[in-house]
Structure formats: structure tokens, C-alpha cells
Structure 1
Amino acid sequence: MWGLALSFLGWVGLSPTPYIASAIGATDPAIKLFLSILMGYPLAIVYHKHIRQNPEWRNPYFIITGLDMAWYNFGPTLYHNMIPVVVIYLTSVFLGPGKINCIITFVFNMTYLLAGYIGTESEDYDITWTMPHCVLTLKLIALSFDLWDGEKMKNGKELSANNKKTALVNVPSFAEMVGFVYFPSCFLVGPIFSFKRYHDFITDKFPLDKNPAEYEGQAMTKMIQGLAYVIAHQVGVGVFNARYRQSAEFWEASIFSRHVYCGLWAHFVLYKYISCWLLTEASCIRFGLSYNGVKNSEDTWDGCNNIRLMRFETATKFHHYIESFNCNTNHFAAEYIYKRLKFLGNREASQFFTLLFLAVWHGTRSGYYVTFLNEFLIIFMEKELEPIISRTEIYHKVWDNTAGKYILYALLKLYTIVYMGWSLVPFDLKVYNKWMGVYASLYFSGFLLFIPWAFAYKPLLKYGIKALNIRRIEPKTE
């Protein structure tokens, strides 16, 4: 009940969080959030020492600790997070799993979330009850689809391999649903995980007693990485900050410097999310929730991994960012939105509506929509550009040359950093008059680079390869 204790200290004016926030230039809600994320680790230790031996205490432990965390961060507004749980439980019990339940769950949760955004959202980065609610929204939508998939299985319909892993043949009890929602390591910032994973965890399907030192060590490694990224974020945004980017001095720098500055700023801003996910993953591993089967004859504990660090840090195209960043949300978008839009018969249309869903899920501000539009445009261009370039002989000669390989890698790395910065500017600034000012300082280079690709640059590139008689390497056929 640490949350209630700290809340009481705040009520009597003795809370340390305002002083900590003032000392490091953060906000009081941000410090509360950070402390709550850190608390997941000791809660996992307590769970293994005192709770796990009594199965009937497991759900109540997660409910009590999760609610305690919610009260500490959001006070009485935590009731918002409980309402959708009650709704999906009632619809699942009385209407039964199926298409109708999925539609009701989807519409209700997205409407509730958007109403919350409208009521709480400002021009700044807000930490309100809508933060865990956006995580909750995805978890409950996924739960409704998993119940529907379970019904399909019972009726003998074939499912994909991924759907089989998460399908549920029985409606969870109310206590299980609440424990699933308020699981303390993931309640605030994710990562999201399936109810099937949660159920397997609390019913001893994971080999937690086989070699506890293994996952305890991995948990500590993730904790250290998370703390290192917290420090890197604080240092990075201190050097590359948003205020300078919106100042008159920023306009006086060269256009190249402005692009690089925005790119490096964005890179360090993303460390904020990476640090949170590493710390929550550390807690998930320490609980044992992250078990992910046996690979190469060894147990793996990456089931709640939300960031692939090496892929992210070495990215040379935007697809690498998608593969490595916010992995569980991307998995949700692929399995529960993109693939469910197969009836459209067009991959680009499915991708567009998936990104539109993610933009709406983030909020109502224009910046979110511009960021995901940028992602759509960039990914569309890269998918078409890469096959054209990679099938030229000169491309392979450059990669086979040691000096050429490093030069090309440096250029691609610069491209990804710069245009990740370009894409993230609207997401961070949110409102039109702020992000448009920064885009003006960058001379709208991203729009000029990516929008004309299909009708201008692509035909010119193909014509140039043909006119210069650049030898092409045709793909091998079986």
C-alpha cells in the first residue's frame, strides 16, 4: 500500500516528489509515474516470496497493488479504468463471445478513450487517467477478439498460428479480468499482453521454479539498461531541447544543422519511452510473466519485450524502427487491425487504416495524424525504392567495398535519424501552430521528399537507370 502512504504524505504536504521534480526539471506527475514504474520490481520480489505459494491470493494481489498504483497517480479518477472492464465482462457473459461483442467492445472503448482525451488533453504532455486507459483499450479490444477466436475454434474453424496462441475458449472470471487489467508492472505504460499469457502465468504454466536465477539475472540486466536510458534521455534532451528548436536562433543555423538537430532531439526523446519499457520489462521478467517458450534448448524470457535495442540503435530504414520500437503495440496493430482488414483486398489501404487507428488511439491533436501520415508515406516510398536500388549492380559493388559500405551506412543512418526527427516533431508538439513553425524552419523537406515519390521521383529514377545503362541484377527464380 505504498501508493496510499505516499498519497497521504502529499495530502499533508510532506511528499518528496515535488522537490525531486524541481531538482531535475521534471513535473510532479512524471516523478510519480517513474516511481510507480520502478515499484513493479520490488512488487515482483514480494510476489515470489509471499504470494505465489497461495494461488487464491494471486489475483487479489495484482488487483490491490494495481489499484494502489492507480490511486497514487490519478486519485479518484481511477474509476474510469474500471468502467470498460465491467462493460466487457457483462457483454461477454450476457451476449457471449463473437462479432457483436467485438464491435461493442471496440466502439465503446475507443469512444470512451476519445471522450477522455477531449476532456483532459492540453497542448503539453499530459499524465492523466487516459495514459493507462489507452493501454487498457488495446488489451480489452484484443481480449474480445481472442474470445471470438475461441468460439471459432470450438466451431471447427481454422485459425492462424498466432490466433491459436491467444484464443480463449472460456470467458474469464471478473476477478481474472481485473487482475489482468491492473497487473502492476504493465498497468501504466504497458506493454500490452494477451489474457492467455496472464492466465498461463497465474496457473503455473510457466517454468518459474526450473532456474529462477536465470530470469532474475535477465530482469536485473533490463533494470540496469532502463536506468541507463533514463540518464541518457535526461542528458540528451538537456543538450537537444524543444525550446531551442522553436527559437529565433534555430532559424539562424544552417538548414543541414537544423535537420540534424531535430533528428538527434527526436532520438533522445524516444529514450524516454525506451527507458520506461525496459524498466517495465524488468518487472515482468522478475514476476515471470515474460516466459516465451524454449528456443535453442533454452528457456526464453522476452515475451513482454517492447524494444529491440540493437535494431533500434543501428536502424538504417524506417522499417527497422517499426520492427524495434513499441513491439507489442505494433503486434496488436498487425494482428487485430491490419490482418482483420484483409477483406479490403488492398495492403496499402489496410496499412493506411491501421495507422489511422493508431493516430486516433494516441489522441485528437493534429500532430498525431501528421506523424502517422509521415510514417505511411515513408514506408510506402521505402518499400518501392529498395527493390529498385538493390537490383542494380552498382549498389552491390558499393556494399562489397569496405570504404563504400561504411559511407553508405553513415548516409543511411543520417537519413533515418533526420527523418525520424521530421516525423516526430508533430507528435511531440501536437498542435498545428507549433509543429507547422518547426516544419517551416525545415522548409517542409519531408513533404517535398516523400509525397512526390510515386508520380515524380520513381519514374525519374527508373528512367535514369535505363538512360545511364546501369546494369540490373534480376532476382533469382526457382
Structure 2
Amino acid sequence: MCHNVCSFDRTIASHHMPNLFLSVFPVGYPFALVYRWFLFHQSATVVHLFHTFSGLALATFNFGSQVCHSLLCVVIQFLLLRLMGRTVTCVLSSFIFQMIYLLMGYYYTATEEYDIKWTMPHCVLTLKLIGLALDYYDGEKEQSQMSAEQKKSALSSTPSLLEIFGFSYFYGGFLVGPQFTLRNYQNLVSREMSDAHPFWYKCVYILVWVKINLYKYISCWLITEGVCVLSGLGYNGKNEKGEHQWDACANVRVWLFETTPLFTGTINSFNINTNAWVARHVFKRLKFLGNKLLSQMFTLLFLAIWHGLHSGYLICFSLEFIIVNVEKQAQSLVRDSPLLASIAQSHLYPFVYVVQQLIHWLFMGYPLVPFCLFTYDKWLKVYSSIYFCGHIFFFFAFLVLPYLRKVFVPRKRGNEKKED
């Protein structure tokens, strides 16, 4: 009998493990994004309801009807605060009730194995609710009587039941922690713990900010190009039509820079003479390596060091390496796929161009953030605020493109391969 019970418990535990992982990572992140994108500027009531029901959904998904244990303890804690007020009796009653309930749960569910049961998130909740009682009690003290920590967490007003539910079931801490105070949660709901700008705003801001920064270089190069043309150094002979060319010292192709939807197009239109020098004296002379990617990697490393010793330069050119190679894979996929090639050449091209241009400039600005900010404490803060979306996008594309190629590019038959 005991063997059967233990086997059943292990089965339940193994069943809960993947559910727990799904709740903490793949499900928790979408909840956070929904909150940031759609509910961030909503009223406190809406936010509390979202946090409550999303947390309850995770709890039910993992533990089914056993979610009743946490519901009961939250309601009891609210009643203790309301009925006993800011008293030592309330603190002691909260501590005794919550701890006894948790220990009884341990007693009735314990086995010889490490089990994932309702008691696992409940131990986190127990500390939250006991801490809530203590913070509520501290709220009546004079400022001079409180420590610095107590001043940060003390509650000056009585929280509502809905507020306590949102605090208790917040999806970012209900299952496995971390611990945070109700004051922290209140600051989150009131948007005091955020820079108040939504994700899309930050991305657009970076796009515009980087374009403006690049125009500083472009304006300087155009002015110096004029000096070179005026002095005669800019003369570049005649073209096929016999027309005189004055672009020997041109360092930017403005039209290409503004209209190209490709990352490589922007690179080829910007700082032209420096790129030509590096290609001639570094990239091509690394031919002995026998690997084009290695040559490209060392060339970009040289450029990063040449610009300076700031970490931002290294990050910028390493991202350029990744982005350029991902783009080449994407171009190869479109070129070799009959379906994608037909779409690219159809009447849908204007729409494709707009989407491509949007992606191009959004992520063209992304690697230039560290280039312009230099030090890691600055560019890391910016990347963190937009959740390293560029890194995620291009690493994901790098991993997915080979599989897309298998789907969209027809396989060649044996005789076709021989002919090739």
C-alpha cells in the first residue's frame, strides 16, 4: 500500500514538473508582455484583476482544485488585518495561522521524495502574508521609530481584498518567488517602478536617435567631400558615357543610404572610403586563412579596436557580423525558393519593401546603440530596457533560417546535383 502511494506521489510530482517550467518561463513572460503592452496604463482595479486571474490560472494549471488552500489563506489574512487592525495580536495571529497551515500541509502531503505540490508555492505565499501583517503593523509607527527598511515597506493605509489578491497571485512571484513587499507591488501598479515608456516607443526612439547621430557623420563627410572636389582631389576620371566623375573622395552615397532596405546596403553606402581601405588592406590580405567568415570576423575585430577601447565598439561590430550573415542567409533563402522569389517580384513588393525597411532601420539602430554610448553601463541599460530584442531576433533567425530553407527550397535530385 505504501509503495503504491509513493509511486502515485512520484507520478504527480513528475506531472507537475513540466507544468511548473511552462508556468515560470514560457507562460510568465507572455503575461508580463501583455501587462506592459496593453495594461500598463490601465486603472489599478484592472491591473489587480489581471494579476489575480493570471496567477490563479497558473495555480490551477499546476495544482488544480488545491488552489483553494492559497485562496483560503489570503482571505483569512485580509480578515485578520481588517478585524484586528495594526496590533501585535494581528501579527501574532497571522504568524501562527499561516505557519500552522503550511506545516499541516507539509505533514499531510509529505513523502520520501522531493515533491512539487501545492505546498511549494504556499511556502512563498506564507512569507508574503506574514510580511504583509508586519508591514501593516509598522505603518502606524512614527517615522522616527522605524528603521530605513521599515520606512520602505510600511503600509500607511489598509489594503483592499483585491489588492491583496493581486499581490499574492502576481505571476512573477507566486510559484517560486522572489519575495517582495506590498509596497513594491503598489509602486508597480502605480507605475513608479518604471520609466513609463512602452516598448514600442523605446524602439522607435532608438531608430530616430540613431538616424540623427548618423546624420552628424554624413554632414561632416559631405562638407569635406566638397572641399576635396573644390581642390581637385575628388576628380575620378570619366565614366562610360564620357562624363567627368567627382566622387573619388565621396564617403557616403546618400540616396542608397536612405532607400536601401538591406543592412549590407547601408554598410556599403556609409563610410565608403574607410570600408574600401579595410577591404583592400585587411580583409583581402586575410585570404590565407582559407575561410571567408574568419576573414570577416578578424576584419570587424580590427575595426572595433581601431575605433577605440570602449566595449561599445566591440559589441557593435560583433552584432554587425551576426546581422550581415543572417541577412545573407535570408537573401539566399528568398533567391532559391520559387515561392518566396515570386512574392518578392510580385505586386506585393511595395508591401514587402515597407516591412523590410521597417525591420532594417529598427535593427540597424540596435547595434549602433553601444557604438554611440561607448561604455557598458550605458548601452547595457538601454538593451535591458528593450529586453535585448535585437539579440533575440537575430539569434532566433540564425537558428530558424536553415529549417525554413528545408521547407521553402525544393531539394535537387541526384542528376541535377551532378549537372551543377
Taking the TM superposition and a 5 Å limit, the aligned residue runs for 1:223-238 are none
| Deviations 1:144-196 (CA, angstroms, capped at 9, x unpaired) | xxxxxxxxxxxxxxxxxxxxxxxxxxxxxxxxxxxxxxxxxxxxxxxxxxxxx
Q: Distance in 2 between matches of 1:250 and 1:328?
A: 44
1:35-434 matched pairs, under 5 angstroms: 251-295=195-239, 296-402=241-347, 404-434=348-378
Tell me which of 389, 393, 406 is aligned to 1:449: 393
Distance 1:442 1:461 in 2: 27
* Larger CA Rg, structure 1 vs 2: 2
TM-superposed CA distance for 1:352, in Å, is 0.6
Contact 1:264 1:418 in 2 (8 A): no
Residue 401 of structure 1 deviates from its aligned partner by 3.2
User: 1:463, CA displacement in angstroms?
Assistant: 3.8
d(CA) in 2 for partners of 1:249 and 1:434?
A: 19
Q: Which residue of 2 aligns with 1:460?
A: 403
Contact 2:229 2:235 in 1 (8 A): yes
Aligned counterparts of 1:328 and 1:448: Cα–Cα separation in 2: 32
Q: Match of 1:443, as an amino acid? A: Y
Pair 1:262–1:300, CA change in 2 (3 A):
same
CA displacement, residues 57-114 of structure 1 (integer Å, 9 cap, x when unaligned): xxxxxxxxxxxxxxxxxxxxxxxxxxxxxxxxxxxxxxxxxxxxxxxxxxxxxxxxxx
Q: Deviations over 1:297-349 (max 9, x none)?
A: 12211000000001100121111011100000000110001011111111111
CA distance in 2, matches of 1:357, 1:343: 17
Contact 1:281 1:304 in 2 (8 A): yes
Deviations 1:424-461 (A, max 9, x none): 1001111111100100111111111223444x212331
- Check conservation: 2:334, 2:341, Cα contact below 8 A: no
Deviations 1:392-449 (A, max 9, x none): 23323323433x1111101111111111110110011111111001001111111112
For residues 210 and 204 of structure 2, what CA distance do their matches in structure 1 show? 10
2:383 maps to 1:439: yes
Question: Given that residues 322 and 394 in structure 2 are in contact (C-alpha distance below 8 angstroms), is that contact kept between their aligned partners in structure 1?
Answer: yes
Q: Name the structure 2 match of 1:57.
A: none
Change (3 A) 1:249 1:275: farther
Q: How many residues align?
A: 225
- 1:251–1:406 distance in 2 versus 1, CA, 3 Å: farther
Unaligned runs of 5+ in 2: 1-191
Quote how far apart the aligned CAs of 1:354 are: 0.5
| Offset from partner CA, 1:5-56 (integer Å, 9 cap, x none) | xxxxxxxxxxxxxxxxxxxxxxxxxxxxxxxxxxxxxxxxxxxxxxxxxxxx
- Relative to structure 1, the CA distance from residue 277 to residue 344 in structure 2 (aligned partners, 3 Å threshold; closer, same or farther) is same
Contact kept in structure 2, 1:251 and 1:441, CA below 8 Å:
no
Q: Tell me if structure 2 keeps the 8 A contact 1:316–1:409.
A: yes
The one-letter code sitting in structure 1 at the alignment partner of 2:229 is: I
User: Deviation at 1:250?
Assistant: 8.5
Letter in 1 for 2:270: F
> Aligned Cα RMSD in Å?
2.6
Q: Secondary structure at the match of 1:299?
A: coil
- Give the Cα–Cα distance (whole angstroms) in 1 for the partners of residues 193 and 307 of structure 2: 31
TM-superposed deviation, 1:251: 4.4
For residues 333 and 216 of structure 2, the distance between their equivalents in structure 1, rounded to whole angstroms, comes to: 36
Q: What's the TM-score, normalizing by structure 1? A: 0.44
Distance 2:269 2:281 in 1: 19
d(CA) in 2 for partners of 1:262, 1:289: 37
How many angstroms apart in 1 are the aligned matches of 2:256 and 2:242?
24
Percent identity reads 40
Query: Relative to structure 1, is the Cα distance of residues 463 and 250 closer, same or farther in structure 2, using a 3 angstrom cutoff?
Result: farther
In structure 1, C-alpha distance between the alignment counterparts of 2:317 and 2:346, rounded to whole Å: 36
Asked if 2 retains the 8 angstrom alpha-carbon contact of 1:264 and 1:417, the reply is no
2:222, 2:211 → 1: CA distance? 16
Between the aligned partners of 2:193 and 2:276, the Cα distance in structure 1 is 41
8 A contact 1:319–1:379 mirrored in 2:
yes
